[in-house]
Amino acid sequence: MVSPELPHYHNNSSMAKSSLRSKSSFWVSDSCLFLGGAFAALLLVWSFWSFITPSSETTPTFESLGTKSNSVGGSGNLADSLRCAAGAAGPNLQYDPPERTFYDDPELVSYTIDQPVMNWDEKRREWLLHHRSFAAGARDRILIVTGSQPSHCKNPMGDHFLLRFFKNKVDYSRIHGYDIFYNNALLHPKMFAYWAKYPVVRAAMLAHPEAEWIWWVDSDAAFTDMEFKLPLERYKDHNLIVHGWTHLIHEMKSWTGLNAGVFLIRNCQWSFDFMDAWVSMGPQTPDYERWGHILRSTFKDKLFRESDDQTGLAYLITEEKEKWADKIYLEGEYYFEGYWEEIVVTYDNITERYNEMERGVRTLRRRHAEKVSESYGAFREEYLKEAGNGRGSWRRPFITHFTGCQPCSGNHNQMYSDQSCWDGMQKALNFADNQVLRKYGFVHPDLLDSSSVSPIPFDYPF
């Protein structure tokens, strides 16, 4: 390395007479240059190698998760590593802290409808403090609650329809990651028919302090847009959401200005207090008959004498407005629940409009795993801006509610024929099922034929 420099040094007059000491100096200097260069090269290689192979302190890759057995309990394989990571990120279902909560005090909580719950907000907040793994996402956590009677259906087709309606709700819950509770026990012997749901909802609030919302959905209501999610941000200042119209309730004083078969209620003290007032009109109280007279005199279009939950809710909104109405949201902008007779006739047209949309947008018809369905639903919203909502819309109706059809008892409203109810339910359930089956590669080609399915070709619809 130094030989090219020798002529230069020898031609310099001050260096013409070199001694042993000067030669040694050259040797030492050159050696230092060699070692310095070698060290610099080694440092460069080491730095490059560190860059492409991160140390244990950096964010782990899939490869490092699979090889670092000590950091994941000694299993040393990728599957165990991912299971460990998933468990740390989500709610811990296998741990209940030893600290006392409201569950341990017999004087503080009762699941029965006849004993009030006090200070629920504080109790629930304390429970979440002890169960911190449930705190993340608690604000938007939903429990769907539904149910039916304990005995078998009188209508021969009733049990089959109840099973299919329940399957529909399970499908929707699975797609969106919601828990669901199906109850077929009468929790209060005197609270029958439409009143039977309130002891269930109340007990569900106590059993699920991790859930911010309890979402009651009648057994004869079907989700018919499996992608749509509740706009919870819209309801951030409200505690009860029902489908209804303000002018029908306040101006027309109509008991049909809302529907209590589907409602979303916040898991809070206000809701316990409100339900106490609501169920005070029910058949379990000595004032049941009196409330029937009051409700019928207040809402002139109410034809039957019994006190019912729907008219009772309308009464609390109008006659006790200052106490309750500000926290109740009457949702009329989309089919929070929709009247089946006006909806089922639109399914074929809606299907074709969605197919037309997907023919023009490759991403919308791309095959994908069911677990990522929400992202495709969100992406589709861009192309549904002109679809509208409610009557006259070509957007899928969110929930189709078969009020008056009574699939279990068969005692349908005389406004409808047996066949119109059964055909309507078949179409609604198959319309919804097609949105699910498509993720599995199949579809019902005829909405009136549940037993027939066909495989769908790649890039469907084309």
Whether 404 shows a pLDDT value over 60: the answer reads yes
Instruction: Give the pLDDT mean for 5-11.
Output: 35
Decide if 62 is inside a domain: no
Angle between helix 309-319 and helix 288-298 axes, rounded to 10 deg: 60
The predicted structure's pLDDT at residue 135: 87
Whether 138 shows a pLDDT value over 80: the answer reads yes
Q: What is the pTM of this model?
A: 0.81
The predicted structure's pLDDT at residue 56: 34
Q: pLDDT for 227-241, tens place per residue? A: 999 999 999 999 999
CB 283 within 8 A of CB 190: yes
Decide if 316 is inside a domain: yes
Percent of the chain with pLDDT strictly greater than 90: 73
The count of domains in the chain is 1
Decide if 168 is inside a domain: yes
Decide if 162 is inside a domain: yes
Decide if 137 is inside a domain: yes
Residue 283 pLDDT class (50, 70, 90 cuts): very high
Instruction: Give the pLDDT mean for 69-84.
Output: 38
* Tokens encoding 231: 């706009």
Decide if 80 is inside a domain: no
Q: Which of 59-63, 268-272, 370-374, 433-437 has the lowest mean pLDDT?
A: 59-63
Q: How far apart, in whole angstroms, are the C-alpha atoms of residue 127 and residue 208?
A: 10
Q: pLDDT for 102-120, tens place per residue? A: 999 887 778 888 889 999 9
The predicted structure's pLDDT at residue 350: 97
Using CA atoms, how far residue 189 sits from 34, 183, 202, 284, in Å, is 95, 14, 15, 8
Residue 209 pLDDT class (50, 70, 90 cuts): very high
Q: How far apart, in whole angstroms, are the C-alpha atoms of residue 29 and residue 26?
A: 5
The predicted structure's pLDDT at residue 106: 85
The predicted structure's pLDDT at residue 462: 86
Decide if 409 is inside a domain: yes
Question: What value does the CA radius of gyration of the chain take, rounded to a whole number of Å?
Answer: 34
Q: How far apart, in whole angstroms, are the C-alpha atoms of residue 188 and residue 137?
A: 33
Residue 390 pLDDT class (50, 70, 90 cuts): confident
Q: pLDDT for 196-207, tens place per residue? A: 999 999 999 999
Decide if 52 is inside a domain: no
Residue 414 pLDDT class (50, 70, 90 cuts): confident
The predicted structure's pLDDT at residue 26: 39
Whether 59 shows a pLDDT value over 70: the answer reads no
* Tokens encoding 130: 């002890």
416: domain CATH number is: 3.90.550.10
* Tokens encoding 359: 């023919």
Q: How far apart, in whole angstroms, are the C-alpha atoms of residue 138 and residue 371?
A: 21
Distance of CA 359 to the CA centre of its chain: 28
Whether 316 shows a pLDDT value over 90: the answer reads yes
Which domain does 184 fall in, by range? Answer: 114-462
The predicted structure's pLDDT at residue 92: 94
